[in-house]
């Protein structure tokens, strides 16, 4: 990245409200070329400026740079061999909350895991283990379905779900899944039409868990009945574990719907760009 003195940056920013569009365009390109490291300086300039035109230009530049960073991180995540789920969800989270540090989200998730771990016992049968997880997550920590604001974009932001204890089927399932994985349990996501659930799947036993309904346990037959009720043709993928990539793509599709319902056209287009990175 090219280095700029404070004086040079001031001079550049002062040209953002230039009436000559060619000058303005050149200045924008020059600032964008500096990359996301320039964001704190731009934010400081925004605070110091009393010119609403320049402030608006700075806001647009900051958003462009932040969105560019999200896209780069998501491309790197997509190429990463392990596709760590928490990292993927943190990247999506930074679309709405650019200042959120991964360490903060990781620490919050670890605290939830710790609460479950202190009540957990490895010597119990799978159904009993799930009952303990349900008790901690839904009774003690009071996570629950956000039925009032089902289509809120906040339901797809893990930090927001942790803070409010309200989420949609996939965000509640993601928290459950991350805790289960850390406990060493064979718990995976299952991509059902209109509903995201979990499966506990070992060589000896398979059953399903609905995190949106306080961890309700159900069977393969229940999924068949559900599909039949929706008049959807049964496919094997509706019973099998899905990948972290599938989960992140589903989060993004939920975000598209959420922003569509709010009429946020630009955000809809941006989230579709992110979705194209994960699921071309």
Q: Return the pLDDT at 29.
A: 81
Shared domain check, 188 and 95? yes
pLDDT tens profile 258-272: 999 999 999 999 999
Of 33, 64, 79, the last residue of a domain is: 79
Shared domain check, 218 and 203? yes
More confident residue, 21 or 226: 226
Domain that holds residue 75: 6-79
**Quick check: 113 and 179 in contact, CB under 8 A?**
yes
pLDDT tens profile 2-16: 566 677 777 777 777
pLDDT tens profile 72-104: 999 999 999 999 999 999 999 999 999 999 999
Shared domain check, 265 and 142? yes
Mean pLDDT along residues 217-244: 96
Chain mean pLDDT for the chain: 92
Distance (Å) of CA 162 to CA 105, 114, 265:
9, 14, 27
**Confidence band of 17 (pLDDT split at 50, 70, 90):** low
Burial of 280 (0-12, 13-18, 19+ CB in 10 A): exposed
């Amino acid at each position: 990245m090219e280095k700029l003195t404070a004086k040079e940056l001031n001079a550049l920013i002062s040209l953002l409200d230039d009436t000559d569009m060619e000058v303005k365009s050149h200045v924008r390109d020059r600032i964008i070329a500096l990359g996301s490291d320039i964001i704190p300086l731009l934010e400081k300039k925004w605070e110091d400026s009393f010119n609403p035109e320049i402030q608006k230009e700075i806001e647009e530049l900051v958003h462009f740079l932040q969105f560019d960073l999200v896209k780069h991180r998501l491309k790197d995540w997509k190429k990463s061999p392990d596709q760590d789920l928490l990292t993927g969800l943190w990247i999506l989270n930074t679309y709405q909350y650019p200042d959120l540090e991964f360490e903060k989200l990781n620490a919050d998730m670890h605290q939830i895991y710790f609460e479950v771990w202190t009540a957990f016992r490895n010597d119990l049968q799978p159904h009993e283990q799930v009952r303990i997880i349900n008790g901690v997550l839904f009774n003690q920590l009071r996570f629950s379905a956000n039925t009032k604001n089902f289509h809120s974009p906040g339901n797809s932001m893990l930090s927001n779900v942790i803070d409010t204890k309200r989420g949609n089927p996939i965000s509640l399932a993601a928290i459950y899944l991350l805790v289960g994985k850390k406990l060493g349990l064979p718990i995976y996501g299952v991509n059902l039409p209109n509903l995201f659930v979990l499966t506990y799947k070992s060589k000896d036993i398979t059953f399903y868990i609905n995190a949106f309904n306080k961890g309700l346990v159900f069977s393969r037959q229940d999924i068949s009945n559900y599909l039949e009720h929706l008049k959807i043709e049964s496919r094997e993928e509706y019973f099998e574990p899905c990948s972290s990539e599938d989960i992140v793509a589903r989060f993004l599709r939920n975000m598209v719907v959420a922003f569509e319902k709010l009429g946020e056209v630009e955000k809809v287009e941006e989230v579709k760009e992110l979705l194209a990175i994960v699921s071309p």
